[in-house]
Structure 1
Amino acid sequence: MYPEHPAHSRPVTAVEVHQPVPMAPAVMAPAPLVPMQPGSVPAVASIVLPDGRVVTGYAINPVQPAPVAAKPPVSRTAVNIALGGIGFGAVCGGLLLLTTFIAALTALITQLITLAAVIFGGWIAVQIFSAGGSKGGSTVNIRKAIFKRNHFHG
């Protein structure tokens, strides 16, 4: 039903195994000697490989990363926000006092205007409704007055 896969139709061949061939060490010029302090000669380490060879060399100390500056326990942004909140609270207290002062001043001005209106209105009322007084005029009883030809005769 299914066609045969082409990989299954190939003939099986033997697998060849290649063994690594050791290389002859290269002849190199000796490395120049670097003068060192007497107390700072690094330690020489030797390692025995599984096939019996011994590798000798200087131990290399791992590179230490640069120390990271310690972060403060509280970030500067948080400190700035807190200080801004304190300043805003102080300003709000001042604004509250300012609005209280403006409200008190408005109430005072309103009371002074009301007092002036009462005093001035009372003075006018006294002037209108005062009885008598010599003002150079005459008092006329209108019921006994006589009107002739649109002239008033008192």
Structure 2
Amino acid sequence: MNEPTPYRRSAGQEVAAVEVHHPAPITPAHTAPLVPVQPVTIPAVASVVLPDGRVVTGYAMEPAKPEPVATKPAVSRTAVNIALGGIGFGAVCGGLFLLTAFITALTALITQLIILAAVIFGGWVAVQVFSASGHSGGNTFNIRKAVFKRNHFNG
């Protein structure tokens, strides 16, 4: 019963059906038919004699000229503008630093002048108040002895 078959399978084994898939052919895309365009002028026929004596005849072709490429600057304008802005900002900051230093010094000078004026003026006022001996001339009234009657001053 279990005798091998010519395909090396046992006698009781079944063979499954094999499905074969064939790829579908790709249809080419339909393109518009090419319409031959006649050149405006017929180019001149040129003949060239080779060193071994053969003559080659054909149309002269102009070499293909590449389209001009726009030249780019080595450094972009944006980078240049940013750099110049940074330099300008640095210059302004230095000037602002000097300006604040100048304002601080001027404020200190004005403060010292005000204090000096207050000391001098206060000293002058103190000398005027406390030195009664230097006063000469004029009338001196002793108000304590004066009598006021009916809005009249009798001195």
Q: TM-score, normalised by structure 1?
A: 0.48
Structure showing the higher helix proportion among its residues: 1
Q: TM-score, normalised by structure 2?
A: 0.47
